[in-house]
Structure 1
Amino acid sequence: MKTLPIPPQQARLAGLFYLIIILCGVGSEVALRGPLIDFGSAERTMQAIGAEAMRFRFSILADVVMALADAALAVLLFLMLRPVSAGLALGALVFRLLQSGLIAAGLLNLQAALVVGDAGLALSFISLHAYGYDLGLIFFGVNCLLTAVLIINSGFVPRILGLGIGLSGLVYLTGSILRFAAPDLHGLIAPAYVVPLIAETAFCLWLLVLPGIGRQVTVG
């Protein structure tokens, strides 16, 4: 048994970055970019992007901010959870950074869709971005499972949050694998993404509020 002091400023900063990730991720996909894209019609998509080019550009910038915040959060969570298990925390750090890098690199496909003059090519680039995003979420799914183990064994983060993050990892892995292995079934998993939204928002709020974070906690 050992006693572990947890810096409240560090954890609250992690919560702030987590909040940025949630707002930028949901905002870019649902509020900004999503309404412009119609995978059933390349022409309508091209016309919508042409009419709302600045909106589409802002969606890309929001995703850039999300990727930067995700990399920062990966480091902060590593520092916070390293005393529980240095090996697992390092693994979680690596997988989350891989996710951030893949998602950031995939934004080039959205930029390509913005500048090409062919509607079919533009929609193909947007589709490639969707595949690249899901590829990143495979690594993030592994990160969630490792983070869940760390949280459950930490003794200072509520175990229910660890269970939620673990379930989120399973949802991400299932959805992303279906995207590549059985794309026709990918839509069936869509309602399950409410689980990560709830679980990650709860973890974010806990990091921001930090109940009892200023005291000494015992970790086994």
Structure 2
Amino acid sequence: MGKSFEQNPQPYIRLGGLLYLLIIVLGLFGEVFARGSLIIPGDVQATAQGIAASRLLWAGGLAGDLLMQLCDLPVIVIFYLLLRPVNAGLNLTATLMNLVQTAVLVANKLTLILPLLLLGGAGYLAAIPPEQLHALAYTAINLHGFGFALGLIFFGAACLLRGYLIYQSGYFPKLIGLLLALAGFCYLLNSFALILAPSLNDSLVPAIFAPILLGELSLALWMTIKGVNMQRWSERRESTGPVQAQIS
């Protein structure tokens, strides 16, 4: 794939853009539609009742999240090949950051399975009062939020690095790189605010997600519709060598 990508990256980049768009749609479905419609902030009982009554919707959001993480892997490979001619060292660092993020988020999905188990009415749970089951399910949901924030710290760092690489590449518009770097900064700000100052995080959401959506959506659409400037791509590839880019 590496040699084929170097000769004609456009099909791979457009595939990566489409997968990126799918990731964005699946992420919005899980966070906004599935969980957003069932989780009632501060109301443990209503949240538990909503999940118990809409198990398929909750499970659908979870399945969408896992499909999103599955799509992450080819996108990570495409970004690795796409940005390698700019700076091999920074590109590898961004790739590793992205892989850590994906691994953390996949493991974190166990916290979304737990409410289904606790609220499923299994016989072995009969000894536990319903109020305690509801509280445990709500705690698992809160734990998922913190696990999600931890994973996004690594993704935010990856976005910052990729934004810089895109800005320096010459075969993408510099504005795309700046928007992606801004998205990465917002990811980091949101995650650290949730961990260090939850009250501050409450005031940031949902406004902080506007630049995140703008940055990622702009990149995904540009990859899907325009791809790269082939003349600049060829010039960059020839100046750094087809396989090994310089590390500056």
Task: Give the TM-score range, shorter chain.
Answer: over 0.9
CA RMSD of aligned residues (A): 1.5
- Work out which of the two has the higher radius of gyration on C-alpha atoms and give 1 or 2: 2
Matches within 5 A, 1:170-185: 170-185=185-200
Match of 1:100 in 2: 102
Give the whole-Å Cα distance in 1 for the aligned partners of 2:222 and 2:53: 41
The alignment of Structure 1 onto Structure 2 pairs a total of residues equal to: 217
Unaligned runs of 5+ in 1: none
What stretches of structure 1 move > 3 A for 4+ residues in a row? Answer: 211-217
Bigger mean CA offset, 6-15 vs 143-152 = 6-15
Give the whole-Å Cα distance in 2 for the aligned partners of 1:93 and 1:45: 37
Q: Are the aligned partners of 2:172 and 2:228 in contact in 1 as well (CA < 8 Å)?
A: no
Instruction: Tell me if 1:197 matches 2:213.
Output: yes
Matches within 5 A, 1:83-98: 83-98=85-100
Percentage of matched positions with identical amino acids: 35
Cα drift, residue 13 of structure 1: 1.1
- TM-score, reference length from structure 2: 0.84
The CA deviation string for residues 25-44 of structure 1, in whole angstroms up to 9 with x for no partner, is 00111111211001311110
The amino acid across from 2:22 in the alignment is: I
- Say if 1:211 and 1:86 are closer, same or farther in 2 by CA, change over 3 A: closer
Give the whole-Å Cα distance in 1 for the aligned partners of 2:82 and 2:44: 46
Match of 2:178 in 1: 163
**Match for 1:207 among 223, 229, 235?**
223
Give the whole-Å Cα distance in 2 for the aligned partners of 1:78 and 1:6: 15
The amino acid across from 2:160 in the alignment is: L
Give the whole-Å Cα distance in 1 for the aligned partners of 2:198 and 2:228: 45
Give the whole-Å Cα distance in 2 for the aligned partners of 1:165 and 1:120: 38
Instruction: Tell me if 1:128 matches 2:143.
Output: yes
**Match for 1:11 among 10, 13, 23?**
13
SS of the residue corresponding to residue 39 of structure 1 reads coil
Q: Are the aligned partners of 2:20 and 2:75 in contact in 1 as well (CA < 8 Å)?
A: yes
Q: Are the aligned partners of 1:144 and 1:169 in contact in 2 as well (CA < 8 Å)?
A: yes
Cα drift, residue 187 of structure 1: 1.4
Cα drift, residue 199 of structure 1: 1.1
SS of the residue corresponding to residue 109 of structure 2 reads helix
The CA deviation string for residues 93-136 of structure 1, in whole angstroms up to 9 with x for no partner, is 10011111111111100001111140000000000000000101
Give the whole-Å Cα distance in 2 for the aligned partners of 1:171 and 1:21: 18
Matches within 5 A, 1:30-109: 30-109=32-111
Match of 1:188 in 2: 203
